[in-house]
Structure 1
Amino acid sequence: MSPEKLLLSRQVEMVVIPAAEGELGVLPGHVPAIVSLRGGAVRVYEGGQVTESLFVPAGFAEVTPERVTVLADEASPLATLSRAKAEADLAAAEADYAAAATDTPEKREAAMDRLLSMRVKKELAEAA
């Protein structure tokens, strides 16, 4: 789910999410959890194959035995990522990080998180 719309709602075999601690594969019956997300791809598996991939720069995921709910400010299918836009977003994130050098540690950390997410976005756009 993004603020604009619900992007996917159906039963699938497995979902792999980019949790802050690393990739997390979620199958039916998974133990409940709430995890923070880092920038990366949410991958949906059906029939042993990836059927959908969405880029999320950050967010949270709620996992229950029956479902995974991903909450992100932004989510884009990998096929729609533009290399030029990803490069522009990365350049903006680099500038924001440089400007945050004298800010509070919290603002520097947020700027670094955004920078890392935009690096992943650029990599995913180049691979798509």
Structure 2
Amino acid sequence: MAAFHFELVSPERLVFSGEADSVVVPGVEGEFTVLAGHAPFMTTLRPGLITVNDATSKEKLEFYTLGGFVDVGEGGLTILADVALPIAEADQARFTADLAQAETDIHDAPDADFRLVAIERRDQLAYLKTLLRP
């Protein structure tokens, strides 16, 4: 399988940079898989898990994300995430804090549209919390 360059960046750090055989991305329109030679496009990221088949180590890597932007281009795949970290670093305390923030966002929403977005984010976070390994 042909590899391509993938970078996952958060405001805090470069989370991953390397060659991937495939990357499954939680886009706002649904999950999609990027392979080498994928047609260029841009979209937004929803909270979810990014799954990477690392071309170098041949391991399956998972990253927790809360949203951001996705750019698929000739140079590969770049994800600029609001929050991103390896799933091994995402613990129950992190999810509890993120869920509490989502509840605050629902309560403080200035109108119904913002409230609906905040509710969707809270529900996605609640689902992600169920995926954590104990």
1:55 is aligned to 64
Give the counterpart of 1:114 among 112, 117, 121: 121
Write the deviation string for residues 86-123 of structure 1: whole angstroms up to 9, x where unpaired: 123223423431443xx223421342243134223312
Bigger strand share: 2
Give the counterpart of 2:50 among 37, 42, 45: 42
Misfit runs of 4+, over 2 Å: none
1:21 deviates by 1.3
Q: How do 1:1-128 and structure 2 match up within 5 A?
A: 1-46=9-54, 50-100=59-109, 103-125=110-132, 127=133
Alpha-carbon distance in 2 for matches of 1:66, 1:28: 10
Which amino acid is 1:46 matched to? D
Identity %: 35
5+ unaligned residues in a row in structure 1: which ranges? Answer: none
Alpha-carbon distance in 2 for matches of 1:59, 1:92: 17
Aligned length: 124
Write the deviation string for residues 74-97 of structure 1: whole angstroms up to 9, x where unpaired: 101101111133123223423431
1:37 deviates by 1.0
Calculate the aligned-residue CA RMSD, in Å.
Answer: 2.1
